[in-house]
Structure 1
Amino acid sequence: MGLRAASLFIITSFFLSVVLGVPLPRTQQSLCRLCLRFTEKLVNGIQSNKTYEDVRPEVIDLCAKILNAEGYRGRVLCPGVMDSYGPPSFYILSELLLPPREICERLEFCRKHTNDHVINQVNHVISDILNAEWRHSNHNINYRRLQPIRILQLTDIHLDHKYKVGTPVDCGMFTCCHEGMNGSGKAGQYGDYACDLPIATLDLLTDHLQQLNPQPDIIVYTGDNPPHDNWEESWQSQTNSTNFLVKYLSTKLPNQTIYPAMGNHETFPESFYYPPRYRNLTDALAEFWQRWVELPENALQTIRAGGFYTMLIRPGLRLMSINTDFGYLFNFYTLLNDKTPEFFSQQKWMEETLALSVRNGEKVIIIGHIAPGHQSSITSYGDFYVPVVAKYRDIIVGQFFGHSHDDQFEVIHLNGNAAGVVYIAPSVTPRTDINPSYRVYMMDPMTFHLIDYKQYHMNLTEANILAEQNRTDEIKWKLAYTAREEYDLPDFTPNSWWNLTERFKHNSSLLLQYWKHKYADSNVHHTCDKSCRRDLICSTRSASKTQLNECTL
């Protein structure tokens, strides 16, 4: 097969199987063989012989054939999709100076035989990013009240301005409920389980949050602003989504400070991020986020350089917001991590920040978008993250993530010891069959240790029915469960959560209760077979891709 055919395979396979999650009808063994065969040709010739424009018609045609076979409208989707992802994919492949086997292993088309690539060998640092004034904690705080600190987490809003009531919900596109689409079903007033969030539902949520009593003391937002219409995306559409949401929440929650993390959907094309080519994005984020929080100068420096930052959010309590796009499998630029000083700098920054926090007597909250054990993370992300968090287990008091849209947790377990818990909150958007959700954590005001969390949902089916009956004033955001009570946890220590995963093995009703909450009680998913239950347990016991693979394989 020639270089042109190889290019077709690489681009369409990478994009369709990874970014969109379209399953290709091949085993991993055959995918590995094909990847090796084609990559050899690409490595030998792509820099001098072909460009994306040379293969564009065939790329779009092959994309359409594959998507049509999977029930999508390939001829509509593929021109925009391929024109977004094709050029950067060619750039990435042309920049790689690696043997084909390593390329295919990093893309996880081939399994690694060894784990030689250790990512925490840090040789590069962004200059002057840690020149902030590190204030010592005040251990003599005179708290007027002993109520818990309340931390509100919002994640994965995916606001869709094109959402239109009454449009099809099954349309053969990646997201539906837009005017002019053909298909079946009828989009409700407040959303659909197959579509992204309408503004009407975000209005309901923020109106409700305004009435919370007591109000949250801290708000964290763990990313993903734009909708899933990536066949129509542009730099302007992505930037506009973030700008709108920042202004909207600033207006609706005017007295609140919001601490953000960068999601994979903030970029263009969606999920692709590479600092040398994305400074305009991080410059924009540094500007936008200042409407939510007064960022110190060192935080602005690291946001602009790599999309991460830290700041002291109250005496003795530090927040670290990490850029998880560096660890996202669907970000093909991760193939160039070795060429990216900012990638290594974030790792070094994490360790130096945590070490300084130890010396200053601070506790630390980590927020990010993609959890280190998620199946879409690259293996090296969790292999770095887990030992670092285990090393600083005594000061890390919260780890809050999103991305999956599901209600989940991952226990960090290393060398026989539970060392931390990664909490993954369900999304505000109902897309992927869940009810719109938000979460409130309770934190001890003296020790800063978590003591519980409360999970809230809005029943989308019920809300749409009430809207049809002109009874919108009866729509409620309801407490779904309180974690300690629901799972019979004696406390919120990592050991208690690890023991819960042990109980899952022997208590099927408890596990199915967790599975029900995973989808925010939407009742869309009805069965969980033996394989489903195994994967569910493994996901709770794995905070890295390595651990997840060892558990499930």
Structure 2
Amino acid sequence: MEIANLVLTLICVISFTCTHAKIGYFWHITDFHYDPLYTPQGDTRRHCRRADERGSSGHHRALGRFGDYSCDSSLELIESAARYMRTRHSENVEFVLWTGDIIAATYTGNEDTKYQAIRNMTELLSQTFSSHFVFPVLGHLDPAPSASLTNLWMHWLPLEAMQTFQNGGYYTIEQSYSKLRIVVLNTNLFSARESSSPPAKRQWDWLDGELEKATNNKDMVYIVGHAAPGSDSRYPYDTSPDANAKYLRTVRRHARIIAGQFFGHLHADTFRVIYDNDRPVSWALLAPSVSPHRDPGGSSNPGLRLYKFDTNNGKVLDYTQYYLDLAAANRNAGAAEWTAEYNLTQYYGLHEVSAVSLHNLADKLRIGTPHETNVFYKYLRAYNVRYESSDNCDGACAHQHFCAITCLEHLAYRQCVEAAASALAAAGESAPLVAPLVNVLLTLMGLVFLVV
């Protein structure tokens, strides 16, 4: 009996050691929207920049040093995020995904000043992750691929990646120590303006080749980009219908080897589920932005995301979402206290991160029972990164979220939204969904579900 117990103990120790040895972390940061002209003495009517005294009425409100919900990111906000990331699992961080939109949309500097702003952000991340690779992605606000941009990021990219990045803004990273391949896309080539261009065709051919190579090598793949497939009520069609459909067909065909898809762009915390004949086969997770400003859909608190994964095969095990209460940081006059907002599996009660588990979660977001209403408002609180918005989300709004998550074909999304609108109209729903309970629910969830 004692021998049996000893053997069992040894097995447990060995199992724990092996399992622990596989665990790693990676950061996903996105949408800095850095505005070099932001100033606490600025005017929200001028994107938080210093007002022209001759044209100013003198009645604009005071701004905070870490930014404002009406404007894009200040340098101090981004520096505070960098300082915080240094403190979290630094010894086990394998790499960083940086998914685009580095510069604010409203920044009107010339090309030289824009490159200088990107260079400043690059140097900040190089200092923050001095012994790690940062894998940059082009957003729709970033410059087109060029030798200048490639040279700026060459210390993070191997030679073969630099070649495809300079020509098309896409590249792959093969992990020499594991069976995980990172495939970085230039989703700007999926736009209606670019989707029929020669660079877009070259990216499709390249992507097919990379996925076939991964299949033959028995590698698993992370697909990383700026704008996710599908649609959203605030950004109806970021990709052309043809490019969107082609991407979804590609994912379905290679779903077995795709261990995850990671995007930004929406400045919101949400996810997508891809189906093949009504069967969930793949998923995409969209990280919220560092920028507090979301146009045209409102505002959110700044966010950072740290993933936990199996370094051998890329299986995503969990993530922790961090955030900054921007209003509180500005009130504290110098203390930007980033903190854990929630942990994915605990917050939603998931046993694993998979297409099936996220499909089941999406199904709970369809408002019906009180339990489902509770789950939806947990999702909505995360979606806005705990920003206390006064807007209510009625039944039609709630169903738009469900449609965006589960109907990624453009036509399917439109039909999903229209069907919901017809059903709600027939039911006579016009008032906001459980509006009197919204603020109470959100307050309680902040107390009960926060995972530190």
Do they fold alike, i.e. is TM over 0.5? Answer: yes
Matches within 5 A, 1:254-273: 254-267=130-143
Partner of 1:442: 308
Aligned twin of 2:187: 324
CA distance in 2, matches of 1:213, 1:185: 39
User: AA paired with 2:37?
Assistant: K
Name the structure 2 match of 1:500: 361
Describe the shift of the 1:417–1:405 C-alpha distance in structure 2 as closer, same or farther (beyond 3 A): same
Which is worse superposed, 177-186 or 315-324?
177-186
Shift of the 372–144 alpha-carbon distance from structure 1 to 2, 3 Å rule, reads closer
Q: Give me the CA root mean square deviation.
A: 2.0
Q: 1:161 to 1:384 in 2, by over 3 A?
A: same
Q: Determine the structure 1 residue equivalent to 2:340.
A: 479
Residue from 217, 223, 233 that aligns with 1:360: 217
Does residue 380 of structure 1 match 2:237? Answer: no
Determine whether 1:459 maps to 2:325: yes
Which residue of the partner structure matches residue 167 of structure 1? 42
Residue type of the alignment partner of 2:214: S
Query: Match for 2:329: what amino acid?
Result: A
Distance 1:191 1:369, change over 3 A: same
Asked if residue 342 in structure 1 is aligned to residue 207 in structure 2, the reply is no
Aligned match for 1:509, one of 354, 374, 384: 374
Deviation at 1:434, TM superposition (A): 1.0
Contact kept? 2:180, 2:312, Cα under 8 Å: no
Instruction: Give 1:188's aligned residue.
Output: 64
> Given that residues 160 and 197 in structure 1 are in contact (C-alpha distance below 8 angstroms), is that contact kept between their aligned partners in structure 2?
yes
- 1:251 maps to a residue whose letter is Q
Correspondence 1:302 to 2:179: no
Letter in 2 for 1:461: A
Q: Do structure 1's residue 535 and structure 2's residue 371 form an aligned pair?
A: no
SS at match of 2:293: coil
Instruction: Judge conservation of contact 1:311–1:319 (CA < 8 Å) in 2.
Output: yes
* 1:346/1:390 CA distance change after superposition, 3 Å: same
Aligned residue among 100, 105, 112 for 1:228: 105
| Structure-2 residue corresponding to 1:106 | none
Q: 1:202 to 1:540 in 2, by over 3 A?
A: same
Aligned to 2:86: 210
2:124 to 242, 248, 256: 248
Specify the alignment match of 1:23 in structure 2: none
1:239–1:266 contact (8 Å) kept in structure 2? no
Correspondent of 1:154 among 29, 34, 48: 29
Correspondence list, 1:416-435, <5 A: 416-432=278-294, 433-435=299-301
Letter in 1 for 2:350: L
- Please give the TM-score of this superposition, normalised by the length of structure 1: 0.66
8 Å Cα contact 2:36-2:117 kept in structure 1: no
SS of residue in 1 equivalent to 2:225: strand
CA contact (8 A) 2:186 2:225 kept: yes
Alpha-carbon displacement from aligned partner over 1:151-196 (angstroms, at most 9, x marks no partner): 1100001111111113222x1x5x3344437462221111101111
Q: Report Cα offsets for 1:357-389 as digits up to 9, x if no partner.
A: 011111111110000113322222220111111
SS state at 1:451 partner: strand
| Matched-pair contact (CA < 8 Å) for 1:261–1:323 | yes
Percent of paired sites with the same residue: 24
Q: Measure how far apart 1:418 and its partner are.
A: 0.7
Q: Deviations over 1:289-323 (max 9, x none)?
A: 113x13222x2221122111112034311111000
Shift of 1:225: 0.9
Task: Report if aligned partners of 2:22, 2:312 keep a CA contact under 8 Å in 1.
Answer: no
Alpha-carbon separation, structure 2, partners of 1:194 and 1:380: 35
Once the two structures are TM-superposed, the CA of residue 542 in structure 1 deviates from its matched residue by 2.5
Q: Which amino acid aligns with 1:359?
A: N
Q: Distance in 1 between matches of 2:49 and 2:380?
A: 28
**Range moving further from structure 2, 246-255 or 482-491:** 246-255
Distance 2:105 2:157 in 1: 30
Show the counterpart of 2:438: none
**Deviations for 1:403-431, whole angstroms, at most 9, x for unmatched residues?**
11111111111211111111100001111
* Letter in structure 1 aligned against 2:86: Q
- Indicate which of 206, 222, 237 corresponds to 2:113: 237
Aligned partner of residue 152 in structure 1, secondary structure: strand
Equivalent residue in structure 1 for 2:391, among 509, 514, 526:
526
Partner of 1:395: 257
Q: Which amino acid aligns with 1:149?
A: G
Equivalence for 1:176: 48
Deviation at 1:247, TM superposition (A): 1.9
Rounded to whole Å, the distance in 2 between the matches of 1:318 and 1:241 is: 30
Deviation string 1:25-77 (CA, Å, 9 cap, x unpaired) is xxxxxxxxxxxxxxxxxxxxxxxxxxxxxxxxxxxxxxxxxxxxxxxxxxxxx
Unpaired stretches in structure 1, ≥5 consecutive residues: 1-141, 268-277
TM-score, length basis structure 2? 0.80
Inter-partner Cα distance in structure 1 for 2:413 and 2:120: 37
Shift of 1:206: 1.0
Equivalent positions of 1:35-114 (< 5 A) are none
219, 225, 230: which one pairs with 2:96? 219
Letter in 2 for 1:323: N
Q: Which amino acid aligns with 2:124?
A: Y
Q: How far apart, in 2, do the equivalents of 1:531 and 1:145 lie?
A: 45
- Give deviations 1:413-459, integer Å, cap 9, x for gaps: 12111111111000011112111110011112343211111100010
Q: 1:479 & 1:144 partners in 2: Cα distance?
A: 25
For the 8 Å contact 1:166–1:186, the answer to whether it is kept is yes
Q: Is the 8 A contact 1:285 1:303 kept in 2?
A: no
1:284 to 126, 137, 148: 148
**Shift in alpha-carbon separation, 1:492–1:192, aligned structure 2, 3 A:** same
**Secondary structure of the residue that 2:83 maps to in structure 1?**
helix
1:264 match: secondary structure = coil
